[in-house]
Amino acid sequence: MQDAWMTRNVEEIQGYADHNEWKNFFTAIKVAYGPSSKGTASLLSADGATLLRKKSQILKHWAEHFRSVLNWPCTISDAAIERLSEVETNADHGLLSSHQENIRAMQKL
């Protein structure tokens, strides 16, 4: 019974796609898959002790998480940076560098 319904539904959706009836196509897709969930999923706090349910709590958690992951102090010493040689840059950004220019630049590193 359900297989027959699914077969008819698939044929109907394919017919909409074949005839470029996109409004009917997407409406039929939504009917086939059911309503989408619009809610916010709960999330455990960083210490794993609290369940965060409010959207504001979850957003604050993610902001703190990414701040701690992405904002690391620089671990490269000034002496190491000063040992790096400067490489001449191409002032004309519209032109691509040649293969040979790329090789020369890599050899300078």
pLDDT in tens, the chain (109 residues): 678 888 888 999 999 999 999 999 999 998 888 877 777 788 898 888 999 999 899 999 999 999 999 998 888 999 999 999 888 876 776 667 788 888 888 888 8
Residue 17 covered by a domain: yes
Q: What is the predicted pLDDT for the residue at 4?
A: 86
Residue 77 covered by a domain: no
Residue 4 covered by a domain: yes
Q: 């319904």: which residue's tokens?
A: 5
Count of structural domains, the chain: 2
Q: Are residues 24 and 43 in the same domain?
A: no
Q: Say which amino acid occupies 96.
A: L
Residue 106 covered by a domain: no
**70, two tokens:** 């992405």
Nearest to 68 by CA among 42, 46, 44: 46
Q: Please state whether the predicted TM-score (pTM) of the whole model is above 0.75.
A: no
C-alpha 39: how far from chain center: 20
Q: Are residues 24 and 44 in the same domain?
A: no
Q: What is the predicted pLDDT for the residue at 5?
A: 83
The C-alpha atoms of residue 95 and residue 37 are separated, in whole angstroms, by 49
Q: What is the predicted pLDDT for the residue at 26?
A: 92
Residue 83 covered by a domain: no
Q: Are residues 31 and 45 in the same domain?
A: no
Residue 31 covered by a domain: yes
Q: Are residues 42 and 61 in the same domain?
A: yes
Q: Which domain holds residue 6?
A: 1-36
Residue 22 covered by a domain: yes
Q: Are residues 24 and 42 in the same domain?
A: no
Q: What is the predicted pLDDT for the residue at 2?
A: 72
Q: What does the angle CA 35 – CA 39 – CA 45 come to, to the nearest 5 degrees?
A: 145
Dihedral, CA of residue 94, residue 88, residue 103 and residue 93, to nearest 10: -10
